[in-house]
Amino acid sequence: MQCIRTLRSYLLLLMTKTGIGVTEWINEMNRIPYYAILSGFEPGDIPGVGTFYDFFKRLWAASGNNLKPNKQKRKRKPKKGKKGEKALTTTPGKVKRLVEWVIRHAAKKTDLPSDRLFHFFQTQILTLSAKLGLLGDMNALSAAGDGTPFVTAAYPRSKSTCSCRAQGLADCNHPRIYSQPDCDSGWDSAREKYFNGYHLYMISAADSRYDLPMYPRLQPASRHDSVSLVVSAVEFKQRFTLGTVEKMLLDAAHDAEAIYHLIDHQNIEPFIDLNSRSKKNTKTSGDIHAKLKNIKNRPLP
Ligand SMILES: [Zn+2]
């Protein structure tokens, strides 16, 4: 029961006081009994910060604040995209190898720290949306996949582990200590600038008026849309139990032969914008490409 109240209280915090921390929220509930009552607490009997943090730990199945180690190789910025164009996957070979790997290993589900959160999201939120008809036809869903920048910091913070700089050596390749090791720098093609943080990749319900998210997933900022799609599509397929996805809509950043292959392998029909820059790299083989040429820029239903 305490768990439900804590969750309810935290959701209330997110809805009403974006930007404040748990400590301040507890002060707020003490000051304004209204917030405590809405949370389900007795005014004057509000739990401490520890209750909240113990609860958060139960939602995330990993110990430690970060998934990656703080000590990492010096990170390079990814390449800029061309002006006004979606960045083409810089390494089609990488996407191809990744797709081949995930198809070989698709039967084996790996546990993710985010699984408890997704389980909660699916059973308590998606199920309700599905029942209300907000996601579309559950037996023939149309899903769309796209990434968006998720900025966490203006500058990446890191400390050196060596004394190269002090010695005047410019060419240093020693590892550094990063304070946010799961984040890095990415290229925001819409705003044409670099950003630091995550790449939020979302699989959403496209065949409804609401475009509700079905599988939100944080990836490193430097990750290309096509790589994120591969990771998300496989994870989603293994976890989503509420219906069947029939169509997958993706933008031109995903126009790589390996992506068609993966989506096809999942028994889903791919609809992908053609990337004018990829024509010279991609062999127009197979009937999928021929089929898709006709439905270029197909508007979302
Ligand atoms: Zn060094």
Break the chain into its structural domains and give their ranges: 2-59, 71-293
Q: How many other β-carbons are positioned within 10 Å of the β-carbon of residue 49?
A: 12
Look at the block and give the residue holding tokens 């990814």.
Answer: 78
Structure tokens at 245: 């996805």
Q: Residue 261 pLDDT > 80, yes or no?
A: yes
Name the band, by pLDDT with cuts 50, 70 and 90, for residue 87. low
For residue 199, which of 234, 151, 256, 269 has the smallest C-alpha distance?
Answer: 151
- Helix H, strand E, coil C: the string for 197-226 is EEEEEEEEECCCCCCCEEEEEEEECCCCHH
Range of lowest pLDDT (129-133, 212-216, 273-277) = 273-277
Q: Do residues 3 and 54 touch, judged by C-beta distance below 8 A?
A: no
- CA-based radius of gyration for the chain: 22
Q: Which amino acid is at 34?
A: Y
The mean per-residue pLDDT over the stretch 126-133 comes to: 96
Q: Residue 19 pLDDT > 90, yes or no?
A: no
Higher pLDDT, 40 or 87: 40
**263: exposed, middle or buried (Cβ count in 10 Å: 0-12, 13-18, 19+):** buried
The mean per-residue pLDDT over the stretch 48-75 comes to: 88
How far, in Å, is the centroid of ligand 1 from the Cα of 181? 19
How far, in Å, is the centroid of ligand 1 from the Cα of 219? 28
Euclidean distance between the first and final Cα of the chain, in Å?
42
Distance CA 121, CA 132 (A): 16
pLDDT score recorded for residue 213:
96
How far, in Å, is the centroid of ligand 1 from the Cα of 157? 16
Q: Residue 40 pLDDT > 70, yes or no?
A: yes
The mean per-residue pLDDT over the stretch 240-244 comes to: 96
pLDDT digits (tens, 9 = 90+) for 171-182: 888 899 998 888
pLDDT score recorded for residue 90:
56
How far, in Å, is the centroid of ligand 1 from the Cα of 101? 35
For residue 101, which of 264, 269, 230, 283 has the smallest C-alpha distance?
Answer: 230
The mean per-residue pLDDT over the stretch 167-190 comes to: 87
Q: Which amino acid is at 120?
A: F
pLDDT score recorded for residue 215:
97
How far, in Å, is the centroid of ligand 1 from the Cα of 169? 8
How far, in Å, is the centroid of ligand 1 from the Cα of 178? 15
How far, in Å, is the centroid of ligand 1 from the Cα of 177? 12
How far, in Å, is the centroid of ligand 1 from the Cα of 174? 4
How far, in Å, is the centroid of ligand 1 from the Cα of 40? 54
pTM recorded for the entire structure? 0.81
Q: What mean pLDDT is reported for the chain?
A: 86
pLDDT score recorded for residue 172:
83
For residue 189, which of 93, 289, 80, 54 has the smallest C-alpha distance?
Answer: 80
Q: Give the contacts of 83 (CB within 8 A, at least 6 positions apart).
A: 192
